[in-house]
Amino acid sequence: MLTFLARRLALALVTTAAVVAITFALVHLAPGEPFVAGAEGRFVPPETVERLRERFGLGRPLGVQFARYAINLAQGDLGESFARHRPVADVLGEALPNTLLLGGAALLLSFVLGIGLGIVQAARAGTLTDAALGTIVLAFYSVPAFWLGLMLLLVFGEWLHWLPVAGMTDAALHGTLSTLGRALDVARHLVLPALTLALVNAAAVARYHRAAMLEALGADFVRAARARGLAEGRVVLHHALRSALAPAITLAGLSVPALLTGSVLVESVFGWPGMGRVAYEAIFARDYNVITAVAVVAGVLVALGNLLADLGVAAADPRVRRR
């Protein structure tokens, strides 16, 4: 078990390092200057550009720059944002929790929905219910997340006025609310973006889980369980589901990259102040340090997701534990 963990950790480290290296190289090797358009879009005089380049050590060879970055990174120093003139850690520190909140809520919701759908579809395989649900699942699987967000915004935000249309909080009111009030305010704003991400991901989970459940339901031990006179509910939910859980958990871990990606687009649709927005702005502003830092965080999150998925599988499937 320990060697298994160690191997996964090593893979995670290698992957993150690769992500950082590739991002670093791309960013630094691409044509274009980071300081030409300042954060406010003003024209920056060449001497200032020169001085800033000096200050951030951009004249040195790439290898040296990377080494410096790596050393700083190991010490927890993510550098300074060119565009915002603030430590990158601060910038990310503000945005990351918001993305985690959105992503976490979406992941949870998509799993409850997706696994539930998968079970119902598998139990009713071949019937009209299965076909109808399958069609709905297919629709959500084929829809662009950002467009779905726009449509939900249109229907629930504008037409029905049920939910707010932008941001994470109600800027005017937020400061005046109690803690509970503030939490509820955030929750109201969270519904649409989380739902958007969740619906699309749930479709992927449902498609996969239906197949996994069908396979489990066709297994010999399921028929054996029925032969012993166990109630159908128990057969499906206890025997079949338990054995189909391990791949579902892996899928959860593997969903993390998709959710991070989705959040870039969805955050922009809903004006959610998360990492997606930060990354997008940084890319256009050529804010090297922020871009690289985002890559690091993304790499770490993905690696963590995979690790948790592996642990979850070991918990769900005792055959794996032996190794």
Residues within window 181-240 making contact with other proteins, judged by CB under 8 A? 211, 214-215, 218-221, 223-232, 234, 238-239
Q: Which of 78, 83, 264, 309 binds other proteins (CB under 8 A)?
A: 264
Q: Is the dihedral of CA 235, 239, 240, 245 positive or negative?
A: positive
State the nearest-atom distance from the C-beta of 106 to other proteins, in Å.
16
Question: Is residue 31 a contact partner of residue 299, using CB atoms and an 8 Å limit?
Answer: no
Instruction: Give 84 or 182: the residue with its C-beta nearer to other proteins.
Output: 84
Instruction: Give 58 or 177: the residue with its C-beta nearer to other proteins.
Output: 58
State the nearest-atom distance from the C-beta of 192 to other proteins, in Å.
13
CA within 13 Å, CB half, 25: 7
Cα distances (angstroms) measured from residue 18 to each of 71, 110, 191, 299: 16, 30, 35, 9
Q: Which residues contact 107 (CB under 8 A, 6 or more apart)?
A: 198, 201, 252, 255, 256, 259
Q: Which of 1, 5, 14, 36 binds other proteins (CB under 8 A)?
A: 14
Question: Is residue 276 a contact partner of residue 268, using CB atoms and an 8 Å limit?
Answer: yes
Q: Is 318 in the site for other proteins (CB under 8 A)?
A: yes
Q: Which of 27, 78, 102, 195 binds other proteins (CB under 8 A)?
A: 27
Phi, psi of 27 (to 5 degrees): -65, -45
Question: Is residue 256 a contact partner of residue 302, using CB atoms and an 8 Å limit?
Answer: yes
Q: Is 81 left (phi over 0), alpha (psi -120 to 50) or beta?
A: beta
Q: Is 308 in the site for other proteins (CB under 8 A)?
A: no
Stretch that binds other proteins, among 1-9, 23-31, 88-96, 104-112 (CB under 8 A): 23-31
Q: Which residues contact 184 (CB under 8 A, 6 or more apart)?
A: 177
Number of residues engaging other proteins in binding (CB under 8 A) = 79
State the nearest-atom distance from the C-beta of 176 to other proteins, in Å.
28
Of 185, 190, 24, the closest CA to residue 97 belongs to 190
Interface mask toward other proteins for 106-145; x: CB under 8 A:
-------------------xx----x------xx-xxxxx
Q: Which of 81, 99, 243, 289 binds other proteins (CB under 8 A)?
A: 243
* Residues in 72-111 at the binding interface with other proteins, rule: CB under 8 A: none
Q: Which of 2, 30, 160, 171 binds other proteins (CB under 8 A)?
A: 30
Q: Is 6 in the site for other proteins (CB under 8 A)?
A: no
State the nearest-atom distance from the C-beta of 303 to other proteins, in Å.
7
Cα distances (angstroms) measured from residue 197 to each of 144, 150, 222: 10, 12, 34
Taking the C-alpha atoms of residue 278 and residue 290, their distance in angstroms, rounded to an integer, is 8
State the nearest-atom distance from the C-beta of 164 to other proteins, in Å.
14
Q: Which of 18, 36, 64, 304 binds other proteins (CB under 8 A)?
A: 18
62-67 long-range CB contacts below 8 Å, 24 or more apart?
62/25, 62/28, 62/29, 65/24, 65/28, 66/21, 66/24
Q: Is 158 in the site for other proteins (CB under 8 A)?
A: yes
Instruction: Give 144 or 181: the residue with its C-beta nearer to other proteins.
Output: 144
